[in-house]
Amino acid sequence: MIEMTAIRKVYSTGRMEVEALKGVNLTIGRNEYVSIVGPSGSGKSTLMNLIGCLDTPSTGTYLLSGENVAGLDRNHLAEVRNKKIGFVFQSFNLLPYATALENVALPLLFAGISDKKCNERAKEMLERVGLGDRIDHKPTELSGGQMQRVAIARALANNPAIILADEPTGNLDSASGHVIADLFGELHAAGQTIVMITHDNGLAKIASRSVHIRDGGIVEDNAAIPRTSRRRSGPSYANSIPPRPSIP
């Protein structure tokens, strides 16, 4: 599914060059649920940009579903993002003036699908995330958890090869965070490949594999527990985080 070999990313800022990724090798198979964990400045956002074809590596090869995407031009990368990757952002990134249905239909429109089919598919995706009764609501009329579910429906719209989530519970209260984490668990159980960037250890633990990144390199790749057994009876988000201390 994802095969990254010797990926380097260098940013030039005037005379200085910053090496954000230093020869990363990463392979992610179909139906995996991978969390990429690392502190701020570790290179995980750069890695996410590259996995999501939002940016291209300075050197190295990146095969996504067998296609070398490292050297593609901007329009081809847009096509790859549209068809193969579903994004879930920390701050949802929904269009504020559009309804939930219109937001979910957006990637379908870019794929050149007719309006009628777009609406049918968008409605189907909203029903899948439990928001079938909110299709005409605008983001301002939805809670944070609901907005993120709309974003997940949008990510699923084009039936992508992978869901790429960047801190998907970062802007949510813990109850909504649990709902979203459980939704990701359900999607994974249904066969969806998920790559999640997070610094939330609780959220990272529910993934079947944790990749730790530091100083531009992978320092730990924890796939010790067999993925299949995790998929069948994966830990829930609620069980993966320690109980909160009671406030007197």
Partner 1 sequence: MTLSSRLAASVAQPRFAAVTVAAFALLALALAAIGLYGALSYNVTQRRREIGVRSALGASRADIVKLILRQGLAVTVAGLGMGLIAAMGLSRLLGKLLFGVTPLDPVAFLAAPGLLLLAAMAACLIPARRGASVEPTEALRCE
59-88: which residues touch partner 1 (CB under 8 A)?
Answer: 74-75, 78-79, 81-83, 87
Distance CA 57, CA 49 (A): 9
The site map against partner 1 for 126-145 (x = CB under 8 A) is: --------------------
- Give the range of 13-21, 104-112, 128-136, 173-181 binding partner 1 by CB under 8 A: 104-112
By beta-carbon proximity to partner 1, the closer residue of 75 and 233 is: 75
> Which tokens belong to 144?
């944070």
Helices 144-156, 174-189: axis angle to 10 degrees equals 20
Q: What angle do CA 96, 102, 105 make, to 5 degrees?
A: 130
Does 111 sit near partner 1 (CB under 8 A)?
yes
Does 110 sit near partner 1 (CB under 8 A)?
yes
Does 90 sit near partner 1 (CB under 8 A)?
yes
Residue appearing with tokens 């593609």: 72
Rg for the chain, CA atoms, rounded = 18
Q: Do 100 and 126 contact (CB within 8 A), yes or no?
A: yes
Running DSSP on this structure, what letter comes out for residue 139?
A: G
The site map against partner 1 for 195-214 (x = CB under 8 A) is: --------------------
17 burial type by CB count under 10 A (0-12 exposed, 13-18 middle, 19+ buried): exposed
Distance CA 111, CA 78 (A): 10
Does 49 sit near partner 1 (CB under 8 A)?
yes
The site map against partner 1 for 155-194 (x = CB under 8 A) is: ---x-------xx--x------------------------
Q: Which residues bind partner 1 (CB under 8 A)?
A: 45, 48-49, 52, 54-55, 74-75, 78-79, 81-83, 87, 89-91, 93, 95, 106-107, 110-111, 154, 158, 166-167, 170
